[in-house]
Amino acid sequence: MLRRQLYSLNGLQSFEAVARHLSFQKAAEELDVTSTAVSHQIKKLEKELGLLLFRRRPRPLTLTPAGELLFPRVQKSLDVLDNAILELRQINNPTELTVSVLNVFASKWLVPRLNDFQRRHPDIDVRLQTSNTVVDLQARTVDIAIRYGQGNYSGLEVHHLIQDQFTPVCSPKLFAHKQNSITPKEISQHTLIHFDWLNYGSEAPSWKNWLAKAELSEINADKGLKFDDENLAIQAAIAGQGIALCSSIHVQDDVKMGFLIQPFDITLPGFIYSVVYLKNHPKKAFILQFVSWLEEQTYI
């Protein structure tokens, strides 16, 4: 019987990532380890093979002929192994879809509508995993993710759902005394409600950017009530604690029910909600049914 020569899986995984990015640093970021650790794994693999896989000098980093030969074969083998493990994990829950989603999108938009999906597709069990951090789909702990951002997610199947606008919202009680139209200047009489924006920098639809667009630079954009989650900011606005700058998607139901009003017409563009999942996912048929339902809901 032929005995296979076994090589380090960590080394092969590191090699595949470095070869794909042609960067030790980017591979390290993807694998969530240090670039030194990646370099060590590559050197160990090269020693086991007795071959150099990369030309490190002069820059930029390139594959050697041996590396070029090995790269597509390792990539294909890792894909086969990943898919096999994913299929094994689905054996106990063949009809369950685990969906990763932002806290506020889940509570203010998805959950109120989810009963309709369950009614139409009783054969699919949806399990929500809420988190404000990006889940690595390659880890196979979730089947599908609803992400918020620019909409570019390389290496994944991507379906764009909807782009939002950010608008000030507040309880109707704040302006109940007003007989005439409300002007943006009146915002200075009320508390600004903030929530943390992560990883969007100066492009975030923040109070600072909204006040600049409204030509109200004399108002201090940093003062007010602050939360770490938009959902809490919305609840504070409903309670009459001030004016929050929130996503039109997240507040649309509260506005329809009269819990919130949108006193000003000035808005800021937000980002895009997208559905992403691994290519050739064994539950792709179920995923596409869920995606189709989500797309339908964005037009209702």
Q: Let me know if 44 is exposed, middle or buried by CB neighbors in 10 A (0-12, 13-18, 19+).
A: middle
Residues 198-220 pLDDT 10s? 667 777 899 999 999 999 989 99
Average pLDDT, the chain: 88
Q: What does the pLDDT read at residue 181?
A: 72
Residue 290 CA to residue 300 CA, distance in Å, equals: 16
Class of 95-300 in CATH:
alpha beta
Kind of pairing between the strands at 192-195 and 243-247? parallel
Flag whether pLDDT at 101 surpasses 50.
Answer: yes
Q: What does the pLDDT read at residue 300?
A: 66
Give the mean pLDDT of 151-177: 92
Residue 103 CA to residue 108 CA, distance in Å, equals: 9
CB atoms within 10 A of CB 129: 14
Domain ranges in the chain are 9-89, 95-300
Residue 159 CA to residue 294 CA, distance in Å, equals: 10
Q: What does the pLDDT read at residue 141?
A: 82
With a CB cutoff of 8 Å and minimum separation 6, the contacts of 96 are: 124, 125, 126, 127
**Distance from the Cα of residue 5 to its chain's centroid:** 40
- The amino acid present at 18, given as its one-letter code, is V
Q: What does the pLDDT read at residue 198?
A: 64
**Distance from the Cα of residue 71 to its chain's centroid:** 29
Q: What does the pLDDT read at residue 6?
A: 63
Residues 21-33 pLDDT 10s? 899 988 888 887 8
Flag whether pLDDT at 1 surpasses 60.
Answer: no
Residues 262-278 pLDDT 10s? 999 999 999 999 999 99
pTM: 0.68
Q: Do domains 9-89 and 95-300 have the same CATH topology?
A: no
- The amino acid present at 177, given as its one-letter code, is H
Residue 272 CA to residue 53 CA, distance in Å, equals: 40
φ/ψ (deg, to 5) at 33: -135, 180
With a CB cutoff of 8 Å and minimum separation 6, the contacts of 255 are: 169, 261, 262
Residues 111-131 pLDDT 10s? 999 999 999 999 999 999 998
Flag whether pLDDT at 2 surpasses 50.
Answer: no
Q: What does the pLDDT read at residue 7?
A: 72
Residues 221-257 pLDDT 10s? 999 999 988 999 999 999 999 999 999 999 999 999 9
What's domain 9-89's architecture? Orthogonal Bundle (1.10)
